[in-house]
């Protein structure tokens, strides 16, 4: 959701790069996560508001927490998840408790991933187009996915489409 260059992003170690596809290694991070059943644009918007409320002071301390990018979404067999990275802390206990029981504070370990970058909007057709490309890359490079597909969106809704930054990410062996 980058509005300016001052918005922090998770760091990673770049293992390899080929055009718009990167293999990376991430350390563990603390995230604020919310989930629901199924995923569509309206649910996305509602989930974003739940998480935004938490970082804009909807917590036990009324504390504002810095916005980070990307907003990460994942649709698995049980639920649709949205996460914000909490890059200012190393432990969950350092964050204020959310006022909403829909916000969970937890650690995630992405580990080794394959990511493909693309612009414009993260529409279903754009995601499907790039999913085929990243899956072909994984097959050709013997990288076995160990997670469902994740979508990372870095920009505010007002960002000009050609300058938007999105990624599809798979955790891999």
Distance CA 148, CA 77 (A): 9
Instruction: Reply yes or no on domain 13-171 having CATH 3.40.50.10190.
Output: no
Q: How distant is the alpha carbon of residue 114 from its chain centre?
A: 13
Q: What pTM does this model have?
A: 0.90
The tokens of 89 are what? 């802390």
First to last CA, the chain: 29
The DSSP symbol for 53 reads: H
Q: What is each CA distance from 98 to 31, 60, 62, 64, in whole angstroms?
A: 12, 6, 9, 12
pLDDT by position in tens, the chain (length 173): 444 457 999 999 999 999 999 999 999 999 999 998 766 666 677 899 999 999 999 999 999 999 999 999 998 778 889 999 999 999 999 999 999 999 999 999 999 999 999 999 999 999 999 999 999 999 999 999 999 999 999 998 889 999 999 999 999 99
> Domain residue spans in the chain?
13-171
């Amino acid at each position: 959701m980058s509005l300016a260059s001052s918005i922090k992003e998770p760091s990673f170690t770049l293992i390899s790069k080929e055009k718009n596809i990167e293999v990376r290694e991430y350390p563990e991070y603390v995230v604020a996560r919310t989930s629901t059943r199924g995923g569509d644009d309206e649910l996305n918007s509602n989930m974003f508001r739940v998480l935004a409320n938490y970082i804009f002071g909807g917590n036990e301390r009324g504390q504002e927490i810095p916005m980070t990018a990307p907003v990460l979404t994942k649709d698995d067999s049980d639920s649709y998840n949205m996460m914000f990275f909490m890059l200012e802390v190393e432990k969950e206990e350092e964050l204020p408790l959310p006022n909403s029981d829909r916000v969970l504070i937890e650690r995630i370990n992405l580990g080794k991933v394959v990511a493909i970058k693309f612009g414009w909007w993260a529409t279903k057709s754009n995601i499907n187009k790039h999913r085929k490309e990243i899956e072909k890359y994984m097959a050709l490079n013997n990288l076995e996915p160990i997670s469902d597909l994740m979508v990372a969106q870095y920009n505010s809704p007002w960002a000009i489409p050609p300058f938007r930054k999105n990624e599809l990410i798979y955790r891999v062996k």
